[in-house]
Every structure is written in structure tokens, then in C-alpha cells.
Amino acid sequence: MTFAHGFEPTSLREYDIRGIVGKTLHPRDAYAIGRVFGSVVARQGGRTVAVGYDGRLSSPELEAALVDGAVASGVEVLRIGRGPTPMLYFASATLKADGAIMVTGSHNPPDHNGFKMLLAGQPFFGPHIRELGESAARGDVVPEAAGSVRDVDIRQAYVARLAQDWDGGARRLKIVWDNGNGAAGEVLAELVRQIPGEHTILNGAIDGRFPAHHPDPTIPRNLAQLIAAVRDTDADIGIAFDGDADRIGVVDDQGEILWSDQLLVLLARDVLRALPGSTIIADVKASQILFDEVGRAGGRPLMWRSGHSPIKSRMAETGAPLAGEMSGHVFFADRWFGFDDALYAAVRLLGIVARMDTTLSAAREALPIMVSTPELRFDCPDARKFAVIEEVAARLAEEGADMVTIDGVRVNSADGWWLLRASNTQAMLVARVESAGHEGLERLKAALTAQLARSGVTAPDFSGEGH
């Protein structure tokens, strides 16, 4: 049977394939992904593809079509069922699968869904995704063959491995978890039975409608329920996950948000005690405080591009034992596998807190205080967004500015820094500004606004501050 398939162009993203179900993403797209990706695996001499899916209402149908496409390419599908994305990554690593695909809409609205992929254990992104789309359009696949399907129950092994790295002290913590009705629900229920502490789980039932709140723990309003529960129960810590549990949100004992770069400081100090001198990676949106504190703790801070796939690739290249980004992805490669796993990050963080002789809020308050904007995302046409970055970078280079250009433009000055980058997944620009004081912050905002104006772009609304 002749095969050829055209994807909705907007669904082929930098890091994954993603769309609105019934509008830009359909079961026939899932079949095509399975058919082409299975062909890629087969042509590389591979035989197995692990497949999992999250708790969204559309995921079972998309997963079934995906499996059919992969089987038609002659591979064996290792079907691990419903669960968080990192469980699929764990299956890929421990089952030594040649490829892996997760059906997940991550932290997006309920009517969205998508696919995250690994090939030979490495992220499948950027040019690989573009090539997949081109291969589908040409019908460039291996001849149809009868593959096979094997159901693999990996959950117990995954939970046991998560719990294995618990390294807390004698202190018994009171912990509130917010699963956000996401795909980690069943895994989390088992995990809390295997690690010490007094555990309360909010929104534990997997429900793809996300009735409690949107499943993105990096947005403060989505943490309101967790914050209230931590304060009401005098808990030591609150932990939240996104829809597929590869991103973490943390609230301290006072109900204050511990931002991702602050979290990474605590994790880095702990890793560096065991592995002094190691490289610790963070993305360009992270606070300068993080990079300074990593250096102070005896590590080598490395700033890198935003995005879980570039971060994972850079970790593999540098041998870094830890990395993180402002979007809540945390990657351990010291005792773990190097992929982003919010459940694993939670276990490691809880161990650190249980060994502390102080509270988590005291550790947060001991960090240097900076003032900053939140991550500001504002509209800019796809055809224009990268050109704006190039224009700004060129002008700043002529002016002799101190800047980093690995991902957009991050400009350093005596007042602090500002960042302008193009979103890889949306028709938007992204900005962030940080300073030691409010006056410096205003000067940095003015500098950023002036550069945007010179490229004909209106500055974002700077109201509200980050941390």
C-alpha cells in the first residue's frame, strides 16, 4: 500500500510534534508518526520502539494509531501504557529500546496533545522532526511489514528505582503533593508508600480535563491550591507536577514559591559535595545568582540554550551531572539517567530538606535577593521574530555590549542583565530582566524597550515582578 502523509505545518515544532486535537492533530497524524519513526529505527538497524501515553482524553486513541503505524514498519512495540513521560524515558533506558515515543500534551490545555521522541536514547528534535515531516510527505518509509506488540508493565520497577535514591536524614517531613490530575497519579500514589514522611496528595486522580487547575506549575496561580494546603497543614514543603510530570514546581514551608533557579542552587550544592568541580548547566533565563552560587560551591556553571532537548544534548557532551531550566525541567545524571524527571527531582530534593538543620524557607531567604521581571512572552510574527533578535544583536555588537548570544541575546551591565530571545514553539518573543535593585531594573527595562522600538516592536507589559 502506498503511504504519503502531510502534517499541519504548525504541528511540527522544534522539540516535539504538537497540535490541537481534531483541528491540527488527528489519529492519522499519529499513524504517520509511527510509520515514519518506525522506518527511521528500522533503517538504523533497530528493532524496538517503546510507547507510552499520558492522561489526556485523546491519548488512548492517538496511542493506538501510533502503535499501528510503528507495527506496519516492522518493529516490535513495547507498550508501557499510561503514565508520566519520565516513565517512558526510564523504559527506553532500562529496556534498551532503539526508539521511544510518548503521547503527551505536557502542560498545554486539555484539547492539545503531542508526541515526544527519543532515538537510540537521545532526544529526537530540531532537524530530525523536520526530516520526519518531509519523509512522510514523500512517502519515504520502509516497505510495509508485520511488526509486533508486547505489553510491558514497567511501573513497579520505575517506582522502586525512584525510591532507591532517597537519601534523607532522620527528620520526618510533612509533604503536600499536587498531581494536578496529571499522568503521574498512579505512580505518585505508589511512590509515597515507599519514601518516609507524612504525605498528602491533592488532585491525585488522573483526569485529562484538569478540573482543579491548569497543569503548569511554573505559573503562580496554578500553585494557589498547593500554597493554601501547605499553610493550612504546616507542611515542610509542597511539590507540584505538570501534566506529564517532567516539570516540577516547589513551595516552601511558608507557602512561598521556590523558583526553578533557586531550586537548582540547592540541588547543585548537594551534587557538588559528592562531585566537586563538576559542570552544572542552566538555561539563559536563569538568575545570575544561580551561576554565581554554583561557582561559590566549587562547580563550573555553564549557561545554555533553553529547551529540554538542547539541555539533554549538552549534558551528554559535557558530562554534567546536573542541569535545569526556568521552565521546571531538572536533569540528574550523577545517579540517574540524564533525563528530566520531576518525580526523581522531588525525591532528591526531599532528601536534601530532610538532612537540613533548618527550614526550606530559611535556605531560600539566605540566597542573595534580586529583583526581576517574570518571563515575559509577547506576540511577534514567526516570519519576523528571529530577524528582530539578529537586528538587536548586530546593534549591540557595534556598541561593544557585553552579551551572550547562545540563545537570543542576554546583555550584561553594571545594573544586571536583560534577555531577549525568540520562542522556538510559538509566534512570540521572550524577555526577562534582573537587577540587584529597583532603579537598576528600570534602567534595564528602558534599554530593552529602546532596542525593541528600534526594530519596530512594542515592549511587553513589565507589570509584576518575579523573584
Residue 202: beta bridge partners? 178
DSSP conformational letter for 173: P
d(C-alpha 453, C-alpha 456), whole Å: 5
Beta strands in 196-287 (DSSP E): 198-202, 237-241, 248-251, 257-258, 279-283
Specify the 3-state DSSP secondary structure of 282: strand
Phi, psi of 235 (to 5 degrees): -75, 160
d(C-alpha 439, C-alpha 456), whole Å: 26
179 CB burial (10 A radius; 0-12, 13-18, 19+): buried
d(C-alpha 196, C-alpha 174), whole Å: 9
DSSP conformational letter for 375: -
Cα distance between the two ends of the chain: 57
Exactly one of 106, 278, 306, 309 is catalytic; which is it?
106
Distance, C-alpha 398 to centroid of its chain: 35
- Contacts of residue 23, Cβ cutoff 8 Å, sequence gap at least 6: none
89's grid cell: 524515558
Angle of CA points 213, 217, 218, to nearest 5°: 125
d(C-alpha 457, C-alpha 429), whole Å: 10
The label of the residue with cell 551531572 reads: 321
Report the run of H or E that residue 26 belongs to, with start and end: none
Whether 463 sits among the annotated catalytic residues: the reply is no
d(C-alpha 339, C-alpha 143), whole Å: 33
Q: Can you say whether the dihedral through the CA atoms of 106, 107, 108, 112 is positive or negative?
A: positive
d(C-alpha 244, C-alpha 307), whole Å: 16
Residue 175: beta bridge partners? 199, 237
**Which residues are marked as active site?**
106
